[in-house]
Amino acid sequence: MKILLIFDNSIWFSLRKLKTMLTSSSKFSLQLSWLILYSLSSLMIFKKMFSPAVSIIKLVIIFLTQFEIAYSAENYNKYFANEKGIVSIMYHRFNESRYPSTNIQMDIFKKHINIIKNAGYNFLNPSLLPKIFFEEKSEKTFLLTIDDGYLSFYEHAWPYLKDNKIPFLIFISTEAVGKKGYMNWQQIKEIEKNEFVFIGNHSHSHDYLINFSFEEFKKDINKSIDIFKTNLGYNSIFFSYPFGEWNSKQKKFISEHFDFAFGQHSGVIDLNKDQYELPRFPINEKYGDLDRFNFLVDLLPFQYKEVIPEEKMIENNNLPEMKVKFFSEQKIDNVNCFSNEGSGWDSSNLEIENNILKIKFRDKFNTRRGRINCSIQDDQGWRWFGVQFVLKHIKDN
């Protein structure tokens, strides 16, 4: 399946054009394409895909995959889906207790993995995301993600994940590769060879990119794409925004070069979520305690149509008017939200009208990241979503 991710962006763009010429294709034929795609890809994995004869099949598969992603992304209508969602969790460092806000101790990490396994859930192979994202997910899965490519990941977590063949997605910032405390390309290539390992792009500089001019931003991303192509032979279809920060213009640019992008706001992924603003639960020593982890393992998607405003960058500390539009099937009378404006975390002031939730912020935000987390309990369990605004002119603390 790895080959599905290995494509050149120029092919992708010409395929998009071709796709618009073929929009009369029925969903049935697309499903048929998927069937063919999966049969061919299983066959190819079987044959290890090294024969030159399969190159043509590879191209066909790449075509079908991209065609399907483009079709799904641009044509599906949002609707209230009966689904269990994907819980995406994010780690950084392992056994580096000097950095408690980004570290997890391996004994706790293993407990997290076992909690997920013992609850009967599976880890999602990232190669399946392009397909499964657009479906109603009848079973909950977990997407394990690791950011930054620290050497402590390679030394401590990798041997364990390798032994247990646990699929994961690791996001690499290309400038740091090979520097002290980070993996080098040889190590990245070594883990990438495994079919359950996927490398994502995490920019070149890992700087506070929303403080960059758009030209500087593009230069940074293009540089990382070039370095990916030089070292791995392809750019990833997965991106994660450094510090979970983006603005709308940058998000649009990312959407032209990647298929999925992850932030650092909490929440469960469902088919209605914006595929370039995917939520993840950050796990570290402070937020890695087992009670919290048990709670988040059971969370369900809290589906909505839209969060307004789309722009998540705030300039000059002008408070956004935040609204969330829900589907009529999603009752929100008992919704609870917490937000961190003013002096810090407290219950948000809410107004509900016509199934639209309005959050009236108590005060201005005083931290770089303005966060809002909402939850609701129904007969199936707890549902959760988070939103993060970034205050461009406030320094990180």
Residues at the interface with Zn ion (CB under 5 A):
147-148
CB of 339 to Zn ion, least distance (A): 24
Omega before residue 159 within 30° of 0, cis: no
Count each helix (H run) and each strand (E run) in the chain, helices first: 11, 20
d(CA 383, CA 11): 39
Q: Contact at 8 Å (CB) between 151 and 181? A: yes
Those residues whose C-beta lies under 8 Å from the C-beta of residue 291, and which sit 6 or more positions away, are none
CB of 208 to Zn ion, least distance (A): 11
d(CA 278, CA 126): 14
Q: Which two tokens stand for residue 296?
A: 């988040």
Smaller CB separation from Zn ion, 204 or 383: 204
Smaller CB separation from Zn ion, 83 or 148: 148
Smaller CB separation from Zn ion, 102 or 366: 102
d(CA 288, CA 104): 7
**DSSP symbol at 26:** -
Smaller CB separation from Zn ion, 130 or 244: 244
Smaller CB separation from Zn ion, 147 or 245: 147
CB of 234 to Zn ion, least distance (A): 21
| Closest chain position to Zn ion (CB) | 147
CB of 83 to Zn ion, least distance (A): 29
Q: How many CA atoms lie within 13 A of 263 on its CB side?
A: 26
Taking the CA atoms of 30, 33, 39 and 44 in sequence, report the sign of the dihedral they define.
negative
d(CA 397, CA 394): 9
Q: Residue length, the chain? A: 397
Q: How many CA atoms lie within 13 A of 95 on its CB side?
A: 12
CB of 242 to Zn ion, least distance (A): 5
Smaller CB separation from Zn ion, 72 or 88: 88
Smaller CB separation from Zn ion, 176 or 268: 176
CB of 202 to Zn ion, least distance (A): 6
CB of 330 to Zn ion, least distance (A): 32
